[in-house]
Structure 1
């Protein structure tokens, strides 16, 4: 039983590691009142993460409000943001976009 759990955990970990992690200092957190969009600049352009008005990229408005609050607090404290994405790519403005709807779907946001 332990062997099955260990193998399953290793396979799951390998899948998580295959995804892309982008990180950088928070240069700005932005809110667009037209559409309720929350955006962040952390070195790869200004990326839209979610909307407080409607579900967007599978993020509910309530989750977006919590994310926005966390981003503002992290920015005020000079934290670095780490965002994990479901795809494999190079972290760049051309891959993540700049002032556009998300080109990639984030699944984990943390602050260090």
Structure 2
């Protein structure tokens, strides 16, 4: 963090990291809601399939599409988790710089 111009620069950097954390949190919140919506759709379609037996072949494709979409959301969450870990690592580095500056 030696490249930051003093405490003011460090504070600006920390604010940027806070914004990045908020962005990750928003992505994760949206992903969770999206998954919940998709799970409800899958449950309704599975119920339809059970009630209609062999006559209900068309929704199976929809169920598979939804499952693929859920997998995409899972990948988004995993990517967000990695992004979050990077921000946390940067925050720990910043914490060390603050401690060094204060001593």
* Structure number with higher strand proportion: 1
Counting helix residues as a fraction of each chain, which structure ranks higher?
2
Tell which has more relative contact order, 1 or 2 (C-alpha 8 A, sep 6+).
Answer: 2
Give the TM-score normalised by the residue count of structure 1.
Answer: 0.24
TM-score normalised by length of structure 2: 0.26
Whichever of the two has the greater Rg, that structure is: 2
